Structure 1
Amino acid sequence: MKISLPQNIIAIISKINNCGYEAFLVGGCVRDLIMERNPNDWDIATNASTNAIKAIFTRTYNTGLKHGTVTAIYNGIKAEITTYRKEAMYSDHRRPDFVIFTDTLTDDLSRRDFTVNSMAYHPEKGLTDPFNGLDDIKEGVIRCVGNPEKRFSEDALRMLRAIRFSAQLGFKIEDKTFSAIKKYWSDLYYVSVERIQSELNKILVSKEPQKLYLLWKSGLSQVIFPDIKELNDEWINYAKYFSDHGNKKTILLSLLFLSAFKDMAKYYYKKLLKKLKYDNKTIRSVGLLISCIEDLIIFSDRNLRKAVTEYGEEVAKNTIEIKTVCSKFTNAYRSFIIDRIGKDIVPLKADISGLDLINAGLCSGPGIKEMLLILMHCIYEKTEVNNFDILMSIAKSVAKSQISISDKP
């Protein structure tokens, strides 16, 4: 098999070879090249030591000397270069206690997680595939290298990676491999929350985010989402629909909580996302979308104005798409409503401020916020009332009637 490689990658391999050492592209970049995908990273395995690699390349930095890895930058490209190694016991179910450097490429490939990631390529020698990864790519299968129970007991994160690769590549998980996940799912407790969140995000933004259901089928959900007992068909249908959406991580997380907790989603989402150590931006985005979905019931002009003002245009558009995808509304109607956002439906700002209300002696304290809220609802109903004099007149009438306005400090 001949694979087209970037010239600067060929140059890195040649430079190592010219110094008397072996060097092969390995792992995910080989898989991606075979599948005509653009690799995210370039990994090279070699029988050269880290000291030898640092002597060959002038620009290097230590990525993981303990595990034999140095990153080299050459001709404008970065590659992680690792000495051939075997791994010893994994007493913490995550990382090897120590590594044993070896002289053979096959030993190095044998320690890897899945057959599709256990191939090597050299621009002159071609493909090295001792575990039939190429066949599994052709058949669309995720299969462990060797005994899957041993692979997962070594590194529990591999179970979640199997589902992630299934979602990213559109592959099925081989039966023995999946059975081992069902047997060892509880070992995922040994993995850090940060690594779990990273894999979860990759599933959510993948080609087939509906593969998230495998967390429940395998038992892994008991570690990641213990409060969510099942993933319903409605969420799976949403995941298929939004698989190409630019904001699908936020959308699918929001729908996950709404499908699981219904009206209580607003009380659960923050707790669960914080437990998974999501950043504040993601938590806020999910919260806004959940609130907008619950708030926007009928697509009247008044409600649409309120949605774009209080939640933002993007959140309003996402909400409309969510609410129309599994309903009687046509694609044309959905597009018509969404196209209005940012055109005749725009965020509004009252032409009066809290300070104006205070100076007029109409309210104070919490009553200011309540009065502004009433005025905004008037503006949502009729945008033509968004005029200082008109709003002041409305505020005086409200204050006079004492409708739900608190003047307590």
Structure 2
Amino acid sequence: MEIKIPEKVAKLLSIIESNYEAFIVGGCVRDSIIGREPNDWDICTNAKPEEVLELFENHGFRVIPTGLKHGTITVVFDDEHYEVTTYRVDSKYTDGRHPDVVTFTSRLEDDLSRRDFTINAMAYSVLRGLVDPFNGVQHITEKRIVAVGSASERYQEDALRMMRAVRFASQLGFEIGGTALTQISMNALMIKNISWERVRDELNKILVSDDPDSGILLLQLTGLLKLLLPELCESVGFNQYNPNHNMNVFDHILSVIKNTPPNLKTRLAALFHDIAKPRTFTKDESGIGHFYNHAIVGMDMSKEIMQRLKYDNQLISDVGILVKEHMNRHKNVKLIVAKKFIGRVGEDNIQDLFDLMVADTLGSKPPYDYSDVDDLKRLCESVINEEQPLRVKDLVINGTDLMSLGYKQSKELGYCLNELLELVLESPELNTKEELLMIAKRKLL
């Protein structure tokens, strides 16, 4: 088997191979065999970290001792970073993430034996070919994710590997084979030992994968979801008792996720858009289910969950807006309604919201009609293309201008600016300094 290695990586390998062994290893080998473009090209070697440092410094490279204690250094090649790690074997993982002691070894097979899954435990070099001691190629052919050695031991070393198994399944379209799957359920409680930041990063990769709905379903079936997103588990099997829906809430959410573009913001919004339905459920006298204010309650829930998972404030705010606004669909929308809609949602979120609305329709009972979304989208695009004023900040005057007329720096000033905006939304031609100051002055009298 031959793998095409990029020129820079081949150069780094050749430098090491002048004195030592060197292989590309892990995900880049897996992806190359599958036919995917690798994100990173990691290198492993029998050279000790200090020897690797000296070798590349002697060749004029900038070298960063990234994780010297664990045998990893980073070589900077034309501003690109490449990790080079010494073969190693690990001791116990008392903290459930890092080995207590790292021992360097001269045998590549020893290093590969400590890795999580067989598809990630392969190495390759042009000189020595493919090294695959755990049948990774066979498992790629079978589309199975199999643990290296004991699945339970691999998960106990680092509980995040359970989420990684789910992530690889959703990214690659593979099944989690045998004990690699059953041992997730057996060891699920250990996920509580993992930081929210690491959990978040794996969740993100699942959500933007080719098969995100199956990834979320696997999290639920293995018991991981109730430990990470217990609020979402409230929707599992929840009957909507509504003629517009032919799925329970959880299955509907999975369908919406599947039908959104692979954009993290949109897929997070899809994950949370109906999360509040179980908490807002009521039945009318006819037995029809309703979920009044579920979008607003869902916005609050999404913010709370995303704060727990340590997302940044901007993404929390944007996802909250999409969740809150996903039900605001009306036929024959007037121009001023569209303007206010854009002002609330923001131009950076508007396409994501339309994508969510369409996916929401596709996750409901057929026939699918999202003509109202298309009409609103066309109207909004027209407003945006004409660069019409939509928010207070788009007015040609500001608070300082109003204070020069005698307004105090108080709520009165804010009220006036909002009233001026309402007028400009109706009549954009009023957005001149002369007109707005004249209107504001009259309001003072």
Shorter-chain TM-score tier:
0.7 to 0.9
Q: C-alpha displacement at 1:266, in angstroms?
A: 2.7
- Provide the rounded CA distance (Å) in 2 between the counterparts of 1:199 and 1:219: 16
Q: Which amino acid aligns with 1:270?
A: K
Q: Does 1:6 align with 2:47?
A: no
Tell me the residue number matched to 2:36: 37
**TM-score under structure 1 length normalisation:** 0.86
Q: Deviations over 1:111-155 (max 9, x none)?
A: 100111011111132111111111222232222112211111111
Q: Which amino acid aligns with 2:342?
A: V
Tell me the residue number matched to 1:51: 50
Q: Secondary structure at the match of 1:259?
A: coil
- Alpha-carbon contact 1:324-1:334 (below 8 Å) kept: no
Tell me the residue number matched to 1:306: 340
Q: C-alpha displacement at 1:382, in angstroms?
A: 4.4
Tell me the residue number matched to 2:216: 212
Q: C-alpha displacement at 1:158, in angstroms?
A: 0.3
Tell me the residue number matched to 2:241: none
Identity of aligned residues (%): 36
Q: Does 1:373 align with 2:418?
A: yes
| Equivalent residue for 2:183, pick from 180, 184, 190 | 180
Q: C-alpha displacement at 1:297, in angstroms?
A: 4.8
Tell me the residue number matched to 1:285: 318
- Alpha-carbon contact 1:152-1:184 (below 8 Å) kept: yes
Q: Which amino acid aligns with 1:271?
A: E
Tell me the residue number matched to 2:370: 329
Q: CA 1:364–1:222 in structure 2 vs 1: closer, same or farther (change >3 Å)?
A: same
RMSD: 2.9
Q: Deviations over 1:202-239 (max 9, x none)?
A: 22222222222322222212332233224622222222
Q: How does 1:194-209 map to 2 (within 5 A)?
A: 194-209=197-212
Tell me the residue number matched to 2:16: 16
- Provide the rounded CA distance (Å) in 2 between the counterparts of 1:116 and 1:143: 8
Q: Deviations over 1:142-180 (max 9, x none)?
A: 221122111111110101111122222232222421211
Q: CA 1:355–1:15 in structure 2 vs 1: closer, same or farther (change >3 Å)?
A: closer
Q: How does 1:107-118 map to 2 (within 5 A)?
A: 107-118=110-121
Q: C-alpha displacement at 1:81, in angstroms?
A: 1.8
- Provide the rounded CA distance (Å) in 2 between the counterparts of 1:338 and 1:51: 60
| Equivalent residue for 1:249, pick from 249, 264, 280 | 264
| Equivalent residue for 2:384, pick from 342, 350, 368 | 342
Q: Does 1:146 align with 2:149?
A: yes
Tell me the residue number matched to 1:134: 137
- Alpha-carbon contact 2:121-2:134 (below 8 Å) kept: yes
- Provide the rounded CA distance (Å) in 2 between the counterparts of 1:125 and 1:307: 62
Q: C-alpha displacement at 1:260, in angstroms?
A: 0.4
- Provide the rounded CA distance (Å) in 2 between the counterparts of 1:175 and 1:79: 34
Q: Deviations over 1:238-273 (max 9, x none)?
A: 2222234xxx21122223222102230232222221
Q: Does 1:319 align with 2:353?
A: yes
Gaps of at least 5 residues in structure 2 are 237-249, 277-293, 362-367
Q: Which amino acid aligns with 2:206?
A: I
**TM-score under structure 2 length normalisation:** 0.79
Gaps of at least 5 residues in structure 1 are 401-409
Q: Secondary structure at the match of 1:278?
A: coil
- Alpha-carbon contact 2:338-2:376 (below 8 Å) kept: no
| Equivalent residue for 1:93, pick from 77, 91, 96 | 96
Q: Secondary structure at the match of 2:254?
A: helix
Q: How does 1:63-102 map to 2 (within 5 A)?
A: 63-73=66-76, 78-102=81-105
Q: Which amino acid aligns with 2:150?
A: N
Number of residue equivalences: 396
Q: Which amino acid aligns with 2:417?
A: L
Q: CA 1:399–1:233 in structure 2 vs 1: closer, same or farther (change >3 Å)?
A: farther
- Provide the rounded CA distance (Å) in 2 between the counterparts of 1:35 and 1:93: 30
Q: Deviations over 1:270-316 (max 9, x none)?
A: 22212111122222222333344355655432221112233322322
Q: How does 1:154-173 map to 2 (within 5 A)?
A: 154-173=157-176
